[in-house]
Structure 1
Amino acid sequence: MAAKIKKGDKVVVLTGKDKGKTGEVVEVRPTEERAVVRGINIVRRHTRQTAQSEGGIIAKEAAIHLSNIALADPKDGKATRVGFKLLDDGRKVRVAKRSGETIDG
């Protein structure tokens, strides 16, 4: 199955503590069905000091389930579902269901 959400996409959070916020996908984990989004789902980790890193409380993004995020429509930035379309030259591109805009160049 082709990926509906990819690294670098702008997404909208649908549920949870960050509902309504938008961010850029930093990493996608297809086997876990999760994605890491910049600035979303920030968690605080208490880490022990090592030779390489300093100890303390570090805030970082945790993965969020793919069902809780939706692609932002290229036209108006609102959440949209994703469809696929074959172009005349044989390329398969992602299409925003909301506006019909193509997502992949």
Structure 2
Amino acid sequence: MAQNLKINDKVLVIAGDNKGKEAKIVKIDPKAGKACLEGIGVVERHMKKSYLNPTGGKKTIHVGIDLSNLKLVEAAKFEKTAAKKADKKAKKGAK
């Protein structure tokens, strides 16, 4: 199922704490087998003061959800429009 999922696809979470929620895929990490979803799995990390982060404070990050816990609901819009254009061309050729 991991091969079918792409960025901007709408998916349904089928397992875990967020079961039943729908969201759009923002980022996919194929090596880890996880996907970051828009609005789901966002947590705050408390950062200590350092040379690279002189103010410290909170930072929001996405926590990936395993690809096996996601189900494709709707493919990306550009794929649908491409399919519609192909259908129109096929109908013109049939006339």
Instruction: Give the TM-score taking structure 2 as reference length.
Output: 0.65
Q: Structure 1: 5+ residue runs without aligned partners?
A: 75-102
Structure 2 partner of 1:6: 6
Q: CA deviation at 1:50?
A: 4.5
**Between Structure 1 and Structure 2, whose CA radius of gyration is higher?**
2
Q: Deviations over 1:25-80 (max 9, x none)?
A: 11111111111111111222111234665422333321110001111146xxxxxx
Name the counterpart of 1:58.
59
How do 1:65-104 residues align onto structure 2 when only pairs under 5 Å count? Answer: 65-73=66-74, 104=79
How many residue pairs get aligned? The number is 76
Query: What is the CA distance between 1:22 and its match in structure 2?
Result: 1.1
More strand by share: 1
CA contact (8 A) 2:9 2:74 kept: no
- 1:23-38 aligned at under 5 Å gives the runs 23-38=23-38
Q: Which runs of 5+ in 2 are unaligned?
A: 83-95
Q: Which has the higher helix share?
A: 2
| Percent of aligned positions that are identical | 33
Counterparts of residues 40-55 of structure 1 (less than 5 Å):
40-50=40-50, 53=53, 54-55=55-56
How well do the aligned residues superpose, as a CA RMSD in angstroms?
2.3
Task: Give yes or no for contact 2:13–2:22 (8 Å, CA) kept in 1.
Answer: yes
- Larger relative CO (CA 8 A, sep 6+): 1 or 2? 2
